[in-house]
């Protein structure tokens, strides 16, 4: 998964490219669209230091065809209103970006031994720097409103209770705040907790490193290209899904892909930075 800020930034760019009628639906429930941008990752934050029935839903969804989520989601949207539609549109943005990036990320991990979370947090750093923000102190989740009302909309999409959805919303804010650690004392404490809980290897990279990771210079370049290419693809998928909800069209075959890497990912080029600058996706 591209990380928290990348998904938010992607959602903003997709929103700016939406046809006016679709954009109007999002405006009516922008807060739910913004939560939808985090897709199944939201559930990762439900009691995240151990495996449980709720966070396993989030992890499991990444390996399944996206249509397994979006077919029943379409029925929820048919029975709902702008809130449900906006959430689903945000979720499509998450799928589009994950699907575009994960095959490259998987091969980058294999060849460089940089972790998944390090690659993604470094890409977040590059996007924040583009906007003149301090990567170590910037809030990555200010756009997420953790309310019981939002939890009521979200819960049916995952088949969890409203209470569980609300806890996940509060937890994504809590843990992202915890991992925002510009100064050493807090960074040391967070790393200690992760080590004691057995989660250091998987999770320490979620905290943006104090200094840029040189081994991610190439991946920042590639991910930005994949990000930009995925914007019109996300718009197309949202329009297709909207037509499917109305009964005007079939769901695009693109939804047969998973949120994760695709077949043949090992053949995707991973290049040194100078070569990457010339590479076209």
What are 180-201's pLDDT values in tens digits?
766 667 777 777 777 777 766 6
Q: Is residue 204 part of a domain?
A: yes
Predicted TM-score of the model (pTM): 0.94
Using the structure block, give the residue that is written with the tokens 């990380």: 3
Mean pLDDT over 148-166 rounds to 98
Q: Residue 32 and residue 93: Cα distance in Å, rounded?
A: 13
CB 98 within 8 A of CB 259: yes
Q: How would residue 205 be classed by pLDDT, with cut points 50, 70 and 90?
A: low
Calpha distance 133→56 (Å, rounded): 33
Asked if residue 277 belongs to a domain, the reply is no
Which residue would you say has higher pLDDT here, 278 or 137?
278
**Considering the domain boundaries, does residue 31 fall inside one?**
yes
The verdict on residue 223 lying in a domain is yes
Residue-wise pLDDT for 208-239, tens only, equals 888 999 999 999 999 999 999 999 999 999 99
**What is the average per-residue pLDDT within 69-86?**
98
Question: Would residue 244 count as lying in a domain?
Answer: yes
Number of domains in the chain: 1
Across 49-68, average pLDDT: 95
Confidence bin at 57 (pLDDT 50/70/90): very high
1 — pLDDT class (breaks 50, 70, 90): very low
Percent of the chain with pLDDT over 70: 94
Average pLDDT on 31-50 reads: 96
Q: What is the pLDDT of residue 204?
A: 62
Instruction: Using alpha carbons, list the distances in angstroms from residue 228 to 222, 225, 234.
Output: 10, 5, 10
Report if residue 275 sits inside a domain.
no
Determine the structural domain holding residue 249 and report its residue range. 4-131+142-263
Residues 109-131 pLDDT 10s: 999 989 999 999 999 999 999 99
- Whether 26 and 143 have beta carbons less than 8 Å apart is answered as no
Tell me what pLDDT residue 185 has.
73
* CB-CB neighbours of 21 under 10 Å: 9
Q: Would 82 be classed as within a structural domain?
A: yes
Average pLDDT for residues 32-44, to the nearest whole number?
A: 98
Q: Residue 234 has what pLDDT? A: 99
Task: Evaluate whether residue 271 is within a structural domain.
Answer: no
Residue 165 to residue 146: CA distance in whole angstroms: 9
Task: Please state, in angstroms and rounded to a whole number, the distance separating the CA atoms of residues 224 and 52.
Answer: 34
């Amino acid at each position: 998964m591209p990380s928290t800020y990348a998904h938010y930034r992607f959602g903003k760019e997709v929103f700016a490219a939406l046809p006016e009628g679709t954009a109007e639906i999002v405006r009516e429930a922008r807060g739910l669209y913004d939560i939808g941008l985090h897709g199944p990752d939201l559930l990762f934050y439900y009691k995240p230091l151990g495996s449980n029935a709720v966070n396993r839903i989030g992890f499991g969804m990444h390996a399944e065809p996206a249509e397994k989520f979006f077919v029943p989601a379409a029925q929820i949207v048919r029975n709902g209103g702008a809130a449900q539609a906006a959430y689903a549109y945000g979720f499509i943005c998450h799928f589009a970006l994950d699907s575009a990036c994960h095959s490259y990320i998987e091969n980058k991990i294999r060849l460089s031994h940089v972790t998944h979370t390090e690659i993604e947090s470094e890409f977040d750093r590059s996007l924040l720097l583009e906007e003149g923000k301090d990567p170590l102190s910037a809030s990555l989740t200010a756009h997420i409103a953790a309310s019981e009302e939002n939890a009521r909309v979200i819960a049916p999409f995952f088949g969890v209770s409203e209470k569980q959805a609300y806890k996940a919303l509060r937890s994504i804010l809590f843990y992202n705040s915890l991992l925002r650690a510009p100064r050493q004392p807090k960074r040391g404490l967070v790393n200690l907790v992760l080590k004691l809980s057995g989660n250091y290897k998987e999770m320490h990279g979620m905290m943006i490193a104090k200094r840029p990771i040189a081994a991610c210079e190439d991946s920042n370049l590639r991910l930005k290209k994949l990000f930009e290419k995925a914007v019109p693809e996300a718009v197309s998928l949202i329009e297709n899904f909207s037509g499917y909800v109305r009964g005007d069209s079939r769901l695009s075959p693109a939804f047969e892909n998973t949120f994760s890497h695709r077949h043949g990912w090992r053949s995707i080029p991973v290049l040194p930075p100078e070569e990457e600058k010339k590479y076209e996706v």
